[in-house]
Structure 1
């Protein structure tokens, strides 16, 4: 439940941050950070909520080192990508290596999630209860 609960918590916090950024951008009529807003809502809210809901639906899939690695890579990648993307958009290219590293982390976390989903949905007990 650790992985599920923490993905769900981070998902709703991301929604709050993403929506707040959207309100701020609209109020200031400054939309330079709209890609950050979109990424916070998609990677932070949508993806993390879906990860959390999957692990809630398949509790056995949330146990072991693989889901923990998925969680750590997802969160680190997200937390590094958002500020580095913002700085890139604000013409501070010195963060490009961090941004690239975070993108690799996020793709790696999705690869782990693909493996976890396939492992969880190919088990015989799933076929008999679905």
Structure 2
């Protein structure tokens, strides 16, 4: 069984490292073309997944709900697709990757919406510590 909360936090640290390295690279070469990749990786990878992981850890009902599992997979399939597509499109001027980016963005957005729905449906006042 996957421990969704802790797994999301671990995955988020990978995004944190990648996002930081992209920012560092851009500052060294003084080329900021990859800013959209840097920002999205830090926001949707590092920050959002860390916060979701903390919520899933603190409130196990959220992680146990089917919506929690759906969110986990949509976010973790969609975000890498979107980021890889965006990176390759910017770095190699491959406009043909717009569909990959849009597909990844759709999956990620669906995951975020499902996460919000999960919180609203399964987080109750009696769950508070």
TM over 0.5: yes
Tell me the CA shift for residue 12 of structure 1.
Answer: 1.1
Taking a change above 3 Å as real, the CA distance of residues 124 and 41 of structure 1, as seen in their structure-2 partners, is: closer
Q: Which residue of 2 aligns with 1:115?
A: 117
Q: Which residue of 1 aligns with 2:107?
A: 105
TM-score normalized by the length of structure 1: 0.90
Residue 82, structure 1, aligned to residue 83, structure 2: yes
Q: Which residue of 2 aligns with 1:12?
A: 13
Tell me the CA shift for residue 64 of structure 1.
Answer: 3.8
Q: Which residue of 2 aligns with 1:92?
A: 94
Q: CA RMSD in A?
A: 1.5
Tell me the CA shift for residue 34 of structure 1.
Answer: 0.8
Residue 37, structure 1, aligned to residue 38, structure 2: yes
The 8 Å contact of residues 55 and 61 in structure 1, kept in 2 or not, is answered as: yes
Tell me the CA shift for residue 9 of structure 1.
Answer: 0.5
Taking a change above 3 Å as real, the CA distance of residues 42 and 124 of structure 1, as seen in their structure-2 partners, is: closer
Looking at structure 2, the residues matched to 64 and 118 of structure 1 have their Cα atoms a distance apart, in angstroms, of 12
Structure 2 regions of 5+ residues with no counterpart? none
CA displacement 1:42-98 (0-9 Å, x = unmatched): 011000001101101111210143211110000111110111111222320111111
Moved more, 86-95 or 40-49: 86-95
Aligned pairs, number = 127
Structure 1 regions of 5+ residues with no counterpart? none
Secondary structure at the counterpart of residue 33 of structure 2: coil
